[in-house]
Chain A
Amino acid sequence: MRAENRSRSTTEADRRGLGWLTAGLGGAGLVVGLVVAPTDAAQGDAQRLMYLHVPAAWTAFAAFAVVALASGAYLTRRDLRWDRYARAAAEIGVGCTALAIALGAVWGKATWGAWWAWDPRLVSTTLLLIVYCGYLCVGRAGPVAGHSERARHRAATHTAFLGVAGFALVPVVHFSVVWWRSLHQPATILAVHGPPIDLLMGIALLLCVAAFTTGAAWVFLRRVDALERAAAASRTAGRPTLRSGAR
């Protein structure tokens, strides 16, 4: 029992602090974003969707970066732990990408006048979502009961290649508004000549980005823990198909 605990990366107590930090940052971001930050001159209150849309997109990019790094680590070290890290990060990335697309549709309806447009940013982001949904499907053979160690490594190798290659789409999505002529506006915070945003709006945005980032890290650690527990259970069970009777 103790050995099993030690093999896990984090404990419940480690993660709880991160959860509280997320709650605090999220609460502050909510108050500043909804009450303190001024209403945008051109877009009105619809602009406040930015405080969720941008953090969701940023978190998705960060999650896919973790997928690429963990996939690279798996390919060099051949340790299934890295496969689990990559999978947990990919799940978060897919969720955040879907959230960014959904919130962007609402924002688009409010300001552009359309839920969807065949715009380079929108199309490339959807492509990103499809690729990582595919990643999750390929990786479905993860630590599932009934699979041999060798089969698991083979599945992990396939997903790791996809995890590294898929990241090539992230810069395409980010720079799509610069490289091509689009309906979507270019970046604000990463603008070349300093962010053209009101200070209070900027603070709200940064608080929300921080809350999303710590929240994603919290979910990631919990998910990794669950995946590690499942993997450990199928290892100790010996014959995983007889999991209930093996003890």
Chain B
Amino acid sequence: MSRRRRARATLVLIVLAGAGLLVGAGLRDTVTYYRTPGEVLAGGDAAGARLRLGGRVVPGTLRQDGGQTRFRLTDGSHEIDVVQRGAPPDMFREGRDAVVEGVLGAGPVFRADTVLVRHGNEYRPAGAESAGTGARRNAGGEPTPG
């Protein structure tokens, strides 16, 4: 009886370890949801590989032309130009954080098919915004000086 139980416990452990390994391998892209411009520019990705790029939308770089949206993402030291076919979500603004999904092309220009807006954990009424979020009321596409 105790031998059978031990065998069963061992089997359960092996199955759990295997499942854990599979889940861990499958979630590698989840654990680091996006990469910064600096990390992406440093290379190491196969050409044409899909990846997620995250950073702050550089003020003054947002433009819409011919059904395409162009802007630049920065991590403070490195910047990458992004081209998106279509329009970004409503909450997308210059100075806010965004995560884009797509492929890094020549230029380098990042060709995104998905644009997501990140938001901070700060909640303030309009008119009393803190500088930390950089969430300025700024209509998309409107160029801001500097």
* Chain A residues in the interface with B (C-beta under 8 A): 38-43, 47, 50, 110-114, 117-120, 123, 180-183, 185-188, 191, 196-198, 201
Contact = CB atoms under 8 A, between A and B. Distances in A.
Contacts of B122: 42, 188, 196-197
A117 B91 contact: no
The secondary structure that dominates the B interface is loop
10 contacts: A38-B125, A42-B96, A42-B129, A112-B119, A113-B91, A114-B116, A118-B33, A181-B34, A183-B34, A183-B99
Interface of B: 27, 29-34, 54, 88-92, 96, 99, 114-130, 132-133, 135, 137
Given A112-B119, A201-B123, 17 more contacts: A40-B125, A41-B125, A41-B137, A42-B135, A50-B123, A110-B91, A112-B116, A112-B117, A113-B91, A118-B30, A180-B32, A181-B34, A182-B33, A183-B99, A185-B121, A186-B121, A201-B125
A198 B126 CA distance: 11
A150 B119 CA distance: 53
The secondary structure that dominates the A interface is loop
Contact of A41 (B29, B124, B132): B124
A120 B24 CA distance: 12
A92 to B, nearest CB: 26
**What are the 6 tightest A-B residue pairs by CB atom distance, in nearest-first order?**
A113-B89, A38-B125, A42-B135, A196-B122, A41-B126, A185-B121
A113 B135 contact: no
A191 B31 CA distance: 21
Nearest to A191: B121
B70 to A, nearest CB: 17
Contacts of B91: 42-43, 110-113
A180 B118 contact: no
Contacts of A47: 123
